[in-house]
């Protein structure tokens, strides 16, 4: 009985580890160090699960929410049309960094944004949003998107990922 128990436990544990690894669809995209901002985009990390959209931006430099003079903005096309229909802003608030989702197709009398959700800080160079998938309507994995660093002081985008007018595909 003991001879069978050890191999059985090993098979079950290997199967559990490989199943959880196969379920992970985390996508990591790297951007060049091409601006002087402390929020210059280094990596864009995304995941879309049945219940959650995970958006994370990592900068080249460390930052605190008190030192943030810019914000990160995601422009998302969830319908497959040429136009952007959702936006996610990651910016400093009085008690930390928050994420806000904007519906750019909100009609008259509809709220164009969702309440702010506090962002998580996986490390000192990142901020991440764990957002309910239901806030984005019916979406596929074929979401096209871009990420910007918006400067409050200059009122312009000072960094883009991907650069040169490209878009990322697949959350």
Does 18 map to a domain?
no
Cis-peptide, bond into residue 68, ω within 30° of zero: no
- Asked, for residue 12, whether it belongs to a domain, the answer is no
pLDDT for 13:
53
User: Which range marks the domain in which residue 89 is found?
Assistant: 26-169
Place of tokens 């959880």: 20
Q: Digits of tens for pLDDT over the chain (171 positions)?
A: 445 545 444 545 544 443 444 456 899 999 888 888 889 999 999 999 999 999 999 999 999 888 888 899 999 998 888 788 899 999 999 989 999 999 887 655 556 778 889 999 999 999 999 999 988 888 866 889 999 999 888 888 888 888 877 888 888
N-to-C CA span, the chain: 47
**Is 105 a member of any domain?**
yes
Predicted pLDDT at 99: 95
CATH code of residue 78? 2.60.40.1190
Asked, for residue 19, whether it belongs to a domain, the answer is no
Instruction: Give the contacts of 31 (CB within 8 A, at least 6 positions apart).
Output: 41, 42, 43, 44, 159, 161, 162, 163
Position 160 in a domain: yes
Does a structural domain hold residue 32? yes
Question: So what's the pLDDT on residue 78?
Answer: 86
pLDDT score at 10? 56
Residue 11 lies in a domain: no
If one counts the domains in the chain, the total is 1
Give the pLDDT score at 136.
86
CA distance 160 to 18: 36
Q: Assess if residue 55 is contained within a domain.
A: yes
């Amino acid at each position: 009985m003991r001879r069978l128990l050890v191999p059985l436990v090993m098979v079950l544990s290997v199967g559990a580890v490989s199943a959880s690894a196969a379920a992970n669809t985390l996508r990591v995209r790297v951007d060049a160090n091409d601006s002087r901002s402390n929020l210059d985009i280094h990596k864009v990390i995304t995941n879309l699960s049945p219940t959650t959209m995970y958006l994370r931006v990592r900068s080249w430099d460390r930052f605190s929410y008190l030192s943030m003079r810019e914000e990160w903005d995601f422009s998302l096309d969830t319908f497959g049309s040429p136009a952007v229909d959702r936006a996610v802003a990651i910016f400093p608030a009085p008690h930390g960094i928050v994420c806000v989702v904007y519906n750019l197709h909100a009609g008259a009398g509809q709220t164009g944004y969702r309440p702010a959700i506090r962002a998580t800080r996986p490390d000192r160079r990142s901020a991440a949003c764990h957002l309910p998938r239901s806030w984005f309507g019916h979406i596929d994995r074929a979401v096209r998107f871009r990420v910007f660093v918006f400067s409050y002081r200059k009122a312009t985008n000072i960094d883009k990922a991907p650069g040169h007018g490209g878009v990322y595909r697949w959350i």
